[in-house]
Structure 1
Amino acid sequence: MSQSLSLIEYPADEHGNLYEDHSRIIESAFITPEVINTIEAQRLLEDKTLLEEPGASASSVMKCLEDSSIDKVLSLLEIEFVKSITSEAASNAKDILISGEISSLINDFRTIANLHHVIKLKKEKFEHRPNVVLKLG
């Protein structure tokens, strides 16, 4: 099943409770199962409660990247990027110009670059805004 990592701004009350109504998706990127597995293995996700609306008791739980783990996830993505450009497939594509491998490498690069961009955006522009989260879903 295809998943994404989305940078989402949720309305929050003075206690830091997040509410589902009027949320705004700032940016989103496709995330591969392999990257999800790596993030989960490093225990870099946390559950956050999302209330339906102020005063309501109905809620749901969402998986989010821990704010404190952003640098670690960026590092993991950078390692994956280096692996992809130094792989045997990359070497073959460079030497032989195999269009299928080149296309696959470009897609891998795009996936990593898009994820890196979304996470970097959280770090650089929304780091001190706990109501802006990186939601996996």
Structure 2
Amino acid sequence: MAPYFENNGDRLVPDALQGFARAHGDLLSLDPEHGFLLARDTSPARRVGLLSGGGAGHEPLHAGFVGPGMLDVAVPGRVFASPHNRQVYAASRAGARADGVLHLVKNYTGDRINFGIAAERLAHDGIACARVL
């Protein structure tokens, strides 16, 4: 019997995301390059995309809320670490709707900083972005 359930810390989050996407492929898809989950079927009447994220290690915290009538995108960071602003930016662009995207951000310093940087980049691109802290 192997002494570890997962022996490679660098693969832990990507493997978990891949497994979640395979288990719930009818509801969401994985962007493996940027490491986020995107809802397949979104409410057509919704004019703003909903995105949340944060440190991994609390699964299925963010990913479990992706689906119809809930989050459009979940973007996890590494274990107990915020997602990088590049991840949040790419996920926001993928989930943005006609009127932009709303970030649901927890009051954690890394999340506040990285979601804020991503929001500035989105504004520079002309994509409306607001956040609920």
TM-score for the superposition, normalised by structure 1 = 0.27
Bigger helix share: 1
TM-score for the superposition, normalised by structure 2 = 0.27
